[in-house]
Amino acid sequence: MKILMVLTSHDKLGETGKKTGFWLEEFAAPYYVFKDAGAEITLASPKGGQPPLDPTSDAEDAQTEATKRFKADEAAQQELAQTTVLSTVSAEGFDAIFYPGGHGPLWDLAEDADSKALIETFATSDRPIGAVCHAPAVFKHPKGPDGKALVTGRKVTGFTNTEEAAVGLTDVVPFLVEDMLKSNGGVYEKAADWASFVVTDGKLVTGQNPASSNEAARKLLSLL
């Protein structure tokens, strides 16, 4: 069982002068769900190498069992420091693809042609595709086999407008995940802000927020 995890390479939080990147829990929790199930994991990012970590996700109050495990796992840290350049990755041989969130993907992965091509290949071959929190941003451009936006008519979730407002970044982000999914024809669903909530529609798995990352990974795994 081979799973491709795609992380952001973007580290600038708009024009705020602050840093962003990937969200630690949204990487660590799925990573260990897959690892503990015996999956072979390949990590990739647009620029390759060490993806930028959102410093907010490294704060004491954001730590979970999975993030603590990662911080004590030198092999995993080495793996993360050496992500493969996304443009060199082929969908061939992978059983599923998963995108951890953080605000970074809104800027790079949402517009990345290599990411779009990979998602479309997984969709056409009916292989599981997962994304959590801000990572459903990657569904902005991919089309399904029918030529319509991939999420058209499909149940999806992602970081809510109210969650974005709560972190004060509504006017900073290039677009709102909830609005984009709806405008692409997605049947958007959500639970209470910050509660774990995951939606599966066919082979498409989406999670609402950081609390949903563990369950999103488990749902993806159950499709394999």
Q: What is the pLDDT of residues 108-118, one digit of tens each?
A: 999 999 999 99
2-222 folds as Rossmann fold (3.40.50)
Give the type of residue at 158: G
How far apart, in whole angstroms, are the C-alpha atoms of residue 144 and residue 151? Answer: 8
Q: Provide CB contacts within 8 A for 109, sequence distance 6+.
A: 6, 8, 10, 46, 99, 115, 135, 137, 138
What is the rounded average pLDDT of the residues 28-44?
Answer: 98
Residues 9-23 pLDDT 10s: 999 999 999 999 999
| pTM (2 d.p.) | 0.98
What is the rounded average pLDDT of the residues 40-61?
Answer: 97
What's the pLDDT score for residue 106? 98
Considering the chain, what is the average pLDDT of its residues? Answer: 98
122 by Cβ neighbours in 10 Å (0-12 / 13-18 / 19+) ranks as buried
How far apart, in whole angstroms, are the C-alpha atoms of residue 210 and residue 144? Answer: 27
CB under 8 A, 24+ apart: contacts of 219-224? 219/130, 220/3, 220/30, 220/96, 220/98, 220/128, 220/130, 221/33, 221/34, 221/37, 221/39, 223/96, 223/128, 224/1, 224/95, 224/96, 224/128
- In this structure, the strands spanning 96-99 and 187-188 are unpaired
Q: Characterize 123-145 residue by residue with b for buried, 16 or more Cβ atoms within 10 angstroms of its Cβ, and e for exposed.
A: beeebbbbbbbbbbbbbbbbbbe
Q: Give DSSP secondary structure letters for 2-61.
A: EEEEE-----B-TTSS-B--B-HHHHHHHHHHHHHTT-EEEEEESS-BSPPBPGGGGSGG
